[in-house]
Chain A
Amino acid sequence: MADQSKLPLPVPTPETQHFWDGTRENQLLLQSCDGCQKTYFPPRPFCPACASRSVSIIKASGNATLYSYVINQRAHPAFDGPYAIAVVSLEEGPRMMTNIVNSPQTPEALVLDMPLKVCFGKVDENITLPYFEPAGDEL
């Protein structure tokens, strides 16, 4: 996992605070529209599909698949050697950017559509970042 003290950490806004409160409790929270049932990310207090302000916070399963990635070769102070910057597809539909942890950072180990599950990296009292790791045989 990255040396998180050297990452530009998120600064929550009123509309995203629930997400970061969730990760602090090791929960990945999404939002779902009470009207059209659309589940979406990143957070906003209305549905991007139908504009309803009636939306609910839901807990994601944490199951995902690897959608795409690059393996960045340029030196980054927070990472030790090349590292993957990935986009994953959550079981609920939305995609999010992340790092793939507990895996070699190689094309051989990182195969598109491989099953992943969420895990959490605590940075400080306020911020815990969601990461993903290979789901292995658990799925």
Chain B
Amino acid sequence: MKSNSIAIVGAAETTEMGLIPNTSQIMLHADAALNAMRDAGMKPGDIDGVACAGEVPTAVAHYLGIVPTWVDGTSVGGCSFMIHVRHAAAAINEGLCSAVLITHGESGRSRVGAGQYRGGGRSSLAGQFEGPYGVMGPTSMFTIPFLRYMKETGTTLEHLANVAVVQREWAGLNPRATHREPISVDDVMNSRMIAYPFHILECCLVTDGGGALILVSAERAKDFPQKPVYILGTGESVESPMVSQMDRFESSRAFKVSGNKAFEEAGIKHADVDHLMIYDAFAHLPFYGLEDLGFCKPGEAGDFIMERNTAIGGKLPVNTNGGGLSYMHSGMYGMYALQESVRQMRGVAPAQVKDAKISIAHGVGGMFAASGTVILSNQEF
């Protein structure tokens, strides 16, 4: 995308978060969308572009009374919303639409009006060549690469547990976080084993919730009530729908391609970044994110986090809302990473990073299957 040409002028999460048994999935999309429109001072008639994942844009647009001239139903997992931002920027710059609403809503825990996860079934390649081996969703699959990562990098189980500890410290500052009480490395390592070497405190939460964003051209952005958050750069990529077929297990190709593209578009250096969100479906994801985005050399992320560089007061605050491990995780968490980046850039985050000017929200989709990266700023460059 053209750097600095697009801004986020509306951003909100669902009114409630966590356990929302009285709200269906489509209404979670709508609740977040209504909150984002109120945030931006807009009505459905002001929106002419709709992007979403989990529901199809047809359903969301009709439910909200929007008549779009552009839709995007890209649904490649939890980073779909980062990719929607990228596609929306291109669409607005091309004149296909002028104001894009991106929604996420997921009744991940309560399963009210929630569709089934789509898969290819038993005749898909994953169904034929992974399904028969006792896989039971992300806890037993997303985690498979990590023993190889450990062997190649010398990273330890203490490094892994420490990720959950540091993120819980951030969650302690966030009134909306699901879990806020402090935990220790021992607490994590003594918690229930889910899929060796991963304990339950190293696995993301399963909750209900949603979020929405509204994007317009940067030139219009100052006409809205909130401080604009500009998009400096974006990236996206996909690798394989089967975790067993990743090119390497100690690095994500999709992360690298997406991250490099975003940095290239933004024209910034790593030292310019004040705040970073890395989608943490499991505690090993921040290692891959920090290394594949180039903030750490291969194998150094465990120590980088252990040395408190990403913690409160550290030089690169990461996952300041508490992350998928402690804040919330409805299934496609990328929207919440974006929301926290927007709050940090607006200066209104519960755990606000002082004087932060550039934030990155980096997402994963599926099990290292897809990736999307958005670089945001409160400054016009």
**Which chain B residues lie closer than 8 Å to A87 at the CB level?**
144, 243-244, 249
Cα A50 to Cα B306 with chains together (Å): 44
Cα A7 to Cα B129 with chains together (Å): 12
**Which chain B residues lie closer than 8 Å to A36 at the CB level?**
none
CB interface residues, B 179-226, toward A, < 8 Å:
192-198
CB of B146 within 8 A of chain A? yes
Whether B147 lies near A68 (C-beta < 8 A) is: yes
Cα A74 to Cα B125 with chains together (Å): 24
CB interface residues, B 215-274, toward A, < 8 Å:
242-245, 249
CB of B140 within 8 A of chain A? yes
CB of A58 within 8 A of chain B? no
Number of A-B residue pairs having CB atoms within 8 Å of each other in the complex: 110
Quick one: which of B193, B196, B198, B244 contacts A97, CB cutoff 8 A? B244
Q: How many residues of B contact A (CB 8 A)?
A: 36
Quick one: which of A11, A99, A112 contacts B148, CB cutoff 8 A? A112
Give the one of B123, B134, B147, B198 with max A CB within 10 A.
B134
Give the one of B129, B136, B249 with max A CB within 10 A.
B129
Quick one: which of B128, B141, B146, B244 contacts A10, CB cutoff 8 A? B128
Whether A79 lies near B196 (C-beta < 8 A) is: no
CB of B131 within 8 A of chain A? yes
**Which chain A residues lie closer than 8 Å to B135 at the CB level?**
85, 97
Whether A74 lies near B139 (C-beta < 8 A) is: yes
Cα A42 to Cα B128 with chains together (Å): 9
Interface size class of A (residues with CB under 8 A): 35 or more
CB of A126 within 8 A of chain B? no
Whether B196 lies near A73 (C-beta < 8 A) is: yes
- Once A68-B145, A78-B134, A129-B132 are accepted as A-B contacts, the answer to whether A11 and B245 lie under 8 Å apart by CB is no
- Once A9-B122, A107-B196, A112-B151 are accepted as A-B contacts, the answer to whether A67 and B249 lie under 8 Å apart by CB is yes
Whether A10 lies near B134 (C-beta < 8 A) is: no
CB of B121 within 8 A of chain A? yes
- Once A68-B145, A97-B129 are accepted as A-B contacts, the answer to whether A85 and B193 lie under 8 Å apart by CB is no
- How close is B200's CB to chain A, nearest CB, in angstroms? 10
Summarize B's interface: helix, strand, loop or mixed: helix
**Which chain B residues lie closer than 8 Å to A41 at the CB level?**
129
CB interface residues, A 30-84, toward B, < 8 Å:
41-42, 67-74, 76, 78-79, 82-83
- How close is A17's CB to chain B, nearest CB, in angstroms? 11
**Which chain B residues lie closer than 8 Å to A136 at the CB level?**
none
Whether B127 lies near A11 (C-beta < 8 A) is: yes
- Once A73-B195, A95-B244, A107-B196 are accepted as A-B contacts, the answer to whether A2 and B151 lie under 8 Å apart by CB is no
Cα A82 to Cα B244 with chains together (Å): 20
CB of A98 within 8 A of chain B? yes
- How close is B253's CB to chain A, nearest CB, in angstroms? 14
**Which chain B residues lie closer than 8 Å to A73 at the CB level?**
192-196
**Which chain A residues lie closer than 8 Å to B192 at the CB level?**
73
- How close is A125's CB to chain B, nearest CB, in angstroms? 16
CB of B130 within 8 A of chain A? yes
Whether B195 lies near A74 (C-beta < 8 A) is: yes
Cα A41 to Cα B345 with chains together (Å): 45
- Once A73-B194, A73-B196, A74-B195 are accepted as A-B contacts, the answer to whether A67 and B148 lie under 8 Å apart by CB is yes
**Which chain A residues lie closer than 8 Å to B381 at the CB level?**
none
Quick one: which of A13, A69, A74, A107 contacts B136, CB cutoff 8 A? A74
CB interface residues, B 56-101, toward A, < 8 Å:
none
Whether A95 lies near B195 (C-beta < 8 A) is: no
- Once A82-B196, A97-B133 are accepted as A-B contacts, the answer to whether A70 and B140 lie under 8 Å apart by CB is yes
**Which chain A residues lie closer than 8 Å to B145 at the CB level?**
68
- How close is B92's CB to chain A, nearest CB, in angstroms? 35
B101-139: CB near A (< 8 Å → 1, else 0) gives 000000000000000000001110101111111111001
Q: Which 3 A-B pairs have the closest CB atoms?
A: A10-B128, A68-B148, A71-B196
Please name 26 pairs of A and B residues whose Cβ atoms are closer than 8 Å in the assembled complex, sorted by A.
A4-B132, A8-B122, A9-B132, A10-B123, A10-B128, A11-B123, A12-B128, A70-B140, A70-B143, A70-B146, A70-B195, A70-B196, A71-B196, A72-B134, A72-B136, A72-B139, A73-B193, A73-B196, A74-B194, A76-B134, A76-B136, A95-B244, A97-B242, A107-B197, A112-B147, A129-B132
Q: Give the interface of B toward A (CB within 8 A).
A: 121-123, 125, 127-136, 139-141, 143-148, 151, 192-198, 242-245, 249
